[in-house]
Amino acid sequence: MTAPHDEDIKQYVISVKVENRFGVLARVAGLFSARGYNIDSLAVSATEQEDVSVMTIVVRGNDRVIEQVKKQLNKLIDVIKVSDHSDMPTVERELVLVKVNAPPNKRPEIYQLGEIFRADIADISQKTITLGVKGDPDQVQNFIELLKPYGIKELMRTGRVSLLKE
């Protein structure tokens, strides 16, 4: 199995329900890394069941390899369920923290932008403002794009969590 070629690469969102045990993350991540795949984002979340966690993995690859990875994930003893959310109706949320340059004359604009995205002002310093936004990944991306002209000093995204719609 070779690393994917550019032409057939797609983004996949895979949700993996696992036993909440040590070592599971390494097993899951290992199946991607062994194929030379870089995970775009990974969120490990507690669930309604105390002994179960969910990993939401966003990864780029081609159909054939991702199909094989899903089968291999299913084979892991600690994996309870694998679902591919890539082409399913889902609700997704992600959180981003952005520290952006904010000289006094630009601050009103940034506040305004923040209000539109319902950002919370996490921190203010002499030269910067740090905003937090939660939303679906497109919204978060939008917000980041709009802040770019001001000069982003630091940025962190949590990676998305994804639930199938009823």
Partner 1 sequence: MKIKGAEIIVECLKKEKVECMFGYPGGVVIPIFHALHNAPFKFILTRHEQGAVHAADGYARASGKVGVVIATSGPGATNCVTGIATAHLDSVPLVVFTGQVTRQQIGNDAFQEVDSTGITRPITKHNYLVQDIKDLAGIIKEAFYIASTGRPGPVLIDVPVDISKGEHKFAYPDTVHIRSYKPVYEGHPGQIKKACQLIETSKRPVIYAGGGVVISNASKELREFVMKTQIPVTTTLLGLGVYPETDRLALEMLGMHGTYYANHAVNESDLLIAVGARFDDRVTGKISDFIPNAKVIHIDIDPASVSKTVPVDVPIVGDCRRVLTQMIEQIKAPKIDEWLAEIDRLKREHPLTYERNGDDRIKPQFVVEEIYRQTKGDAIICTEVGQNQMWAAQFYKYTQPRTFISSGGLGTMGYGFPAAIGAQLARPDKRVIDIAGDGSIQMNIQELIVAVQHRLPVIIAILNNGFLGMVRQWQQLFFDRRYSHTCIDFAPDFVKLAEAYGAEGIRIKTYDEVAPALQKALAITDRPIILDFIVSREENVYPMVPAGQSFKEIIMREMLA
Q: Which residues bind partner 1 (CB under 8 A)?
A: 19, 22-23, 26-27, 30, 34, 67-68, 71-72, 74-81
Least separation in angstroms between residue 166's CB and partner 1 is 24
Tokens, residue 30: 């290992």
- Looking at the Cβ atoms of 50 and 145, the one nearer to partner 1 is 50
3-state DSSP call for residue 111? helix
Least separation in angstroms between residue 155's CB and partner 1 is 32
Distance CA 22, CA 76 (A): 14
Tokens, residue 9: 């690469």
Q: What helix, strand, coil percent values describe the chain, rounded to 5?
A: 30, 40, 25
Distance CA 131, CA 135 (A): 13
Least separation in angstroms between residue 16's CB and partner 1 is 11
- Looking at the Cβ atoms of 77 and 145, the one nearer to partner 1 is 77
Distance CA 166, CA 157 (A): 27
Tokens, residue 92: 């997704």
- Looking at the Cβ atoms of 27 and 106, the one nearer to partner 1 is 27
Least separation in angstroms between residue 138's CB and partner 1 is 33
Residue at token pair 């390899």: 65
- Looking at the Cβ atoms of 49 and 107, the one nearer to partner 1 is 49
- Looking at the Cβ atoms of 25 and 144, the one nearer to partner 1 is 25
Least separation in angstroms between residue 14's CB and partner 1 is 15
Torsional class of 55: left (φ above 0), alpha (ψ -120 to 50), beta (otherwise):
beta
